[in-house]
Amino acid sequence: EAGVVQSPRYKIIEKKQPVAFWCNPISGHNTLYWYLQNLGQGPELLIRYENEEAVDDSQLPKDRFSAERLKGVDSTLKIQPAELGDSAVYLCASSLGTSGMGTDTQYFGPGTRLTVL
């Protein structure tokens, strides 16, 4: 079974430029998550989707970040414009979405490492 796929794996851009990350979750997984992982820290949730609905985007900086999950499958996370402090790894994860009790295993992709110059 294929895991969570993310692209690109690496991206280098100059500040103020836009950037987009793509995620394809495991087939059949209804819940999709985007996380931000700064160097030397654990991941932090940015946004969670249940099918195509964003049900938790409280940690998403909405002035420059946006996300979408059209048709409830693939998802795109965008930053416009990028700032130096956005340099980090952006992780996508998915889960079946059958439990709201914290026992639904999340499967993570390899991440996209963003460098903003």
Partner 1 sequence: AQSVTQLDSHVSVSEGTPVLLRCNYSSSYSPSLFWYVQHPNKGLQLLLKYTSAATLVKGINGFEAEFKKSETSFHLTKPSAHMSDAAEYFCVVSPPGGYNKLIFGAGTRLAVHP
**Shortest CB 71 distance to partner 1, Å:** 22
Residue with smaller CB distance to partner 1, 27 or 103: 103
Asked if residue 60 lies in contact with residue 49, where contact means CB atoms within 8 angstroms, the answer is no
Residue 115 forms beta bridges with which residues?
A: 12
**Shortest CB 87 distance to partner 1, Å:** 17
Asked if residue 84 lies in contact with residue 17, where contact means CB atoms within 8 angstroms, the answer is no
Residue with smaller CB distance to partner 1, 51 or 99: 99
Residue with smaller CB distance to partner 1, 81 or 96: 96
Binding site residues, partner 1, CB under 8 A: 3-4, 31, 40-45, 48, 55-56, 91, 93, 95, 99-111
Cα distance between residue 73 and residue 46, in whole Å: 18
**Shortest CB 37 distance to partner 1, Å:** 8
Cα distance between residue 107 and residue 74, in whole Å: 15
**Shortest CB 42 distance to partner 1, Å:** 3
Residue with smaller CB distance to partner 1, 77 or 109: 109
Cα distance between residue 31 and residue 23, in whole Å: 12
Residue 36 forms beta bridges with which residues?
A: 44, 90
